[in-house]
Amino acid sequence: MLSAEDLTSFDNDGFVVVGPVLDTDLIDKLRERFGRLFRGDFETGTAPDEVNWLEGESDPTLTRQICNAWKTDRLIAATVLDARFGKAVARLAGWPGARMAQDNVIWKPPGAKSLGFHRDNAYLAWYTPQEMCSCWIALDDTTASGGTLELARGSHHWPTEADPHGEFHAPDDYRSTVAAAAETAGAELDIVALELRAGEAAFHHGWAWHGSGPNRSGAHRRALVLHCASSEARFNRSGFGSGNGPVYSRYARLCDDEMDENHFPILWRHDGYRTPGI
């Protein structure tokens, strides 16, 4: 999935575009699953960890988001738990292996509002090492006017902070956080809007600033995202109250800091190990 040039681009820019990584048949089927999920039709009977939008209940102008749909839908699971993605993120992040921390099902229909610029790692004080490497897979052709994913080139090199800033869903100015961070870092802000074909993907570094604007096009913008941690990650109890720790620390064990593979499965490890059952 990755060439030597891709690894260099990722190190320099904090992201790299690859693809295609999914075939057309699968993309069509995944789009159908998005419809089911946001209607609250949960195939396995297990609800996702975060349901931030449901048809008939939620504000239709918001971008739809569900996290950890792999627990709910077998086709989403078969896609995001694929060892190829685990191997790729582990290579990019320099980890011995990769585990699923969280998947993200994102649907921004025409007219839907923005998602604020943020850094994924800032939400993750609840585990250590506090690192994430993500793969954002476009399920529609994406455009700048259609609110595609935007990344601030080189921003993974800027100083880090302890906690997330700003609103994720529909902030007034979705780029205000990254503009302030660039100023603090004394860096030039170079925002790249990723215009991808359906099935193409972008990997991004956990400290890379990213977000997306409103969908001003007439086309739907769906994306399936894998957010991975190192296979060696452990819970960090002092961070349970920060970022999205209140949601995911519920899977901590009483006796130790191990991250249960039933909730954070290992997709790929250098020695050939992969969580049994996935």
Q: Which spans of this chain sit near ligand AKG (rule: CB under 6 A)?
A: 104, 106, 115, 120, 134, 136, 149, 210, 212, 223, 225
Output 216 or 270, the one with its CB closest to ligand AKG: 216
Smallest distance from ligand AKG to CB 221, Å: 8
Output 228 or 259, the one with its CB closest to ligand AKG: 228
CA distance 16 to 48: 28
Smallest distance from ligand AKG to CB 182, Å: 18
Output 227 or 269, the one with its CB closest to ligand AKG: 227
Smallest distance from ligand AKG to CB 192, Å: 13
Output 100 or 106, the one with its CB closest to ligand AKG: 106
Smallest distance from ligand AKG to CB 136, Å: 5
CA distance 82 to 184: 39
Output 66 or 252, the one with its CB closest to ligand AKG: 66
Under 8 Å CB-to-CB from 91, ≥6 apart: which residues? 2, 7
- Cα–chain center distance at 277: 23
Output 177 or 269, the one with its CB closest to ligand AKG: 177
Which residue's Cβ has the minimum distance to ligand AKG? 212
Number of other residues whose CB lies within 10 A of the CB of residue 172: 9
Output 150 or 252, the one with its CB closest to ligand AKG: 150
Closest by Cα among 112, 120, 119, 107 to 76: 107
Residue found by looking up tokens 């057309």 in the block: 24
CB 249 within 8 A of CB 123: no
Smallest distance from ligand AKG to CB 134, Å: 5
Smallest distance from ligand AKG to CB 278, Å: 21
Smallest distance from ligand AKG to CB 137, Å: 10
Closest by Cα among 41, 38, 135, 27 to 80: 135
CA distance 247 to 263: 12
CB 201 within 8 A of CB 26: no
Q: Which residues pair with 228 in a beta bridge?
A: 100, 133
- To 10 degrees, what angle do helices 83-93 and 4-13 make? 60
Cα–Cα–Cα angle for 267, 270, 271, nearest 5°?
Answer: 100
CA distance 223 to 142: 9
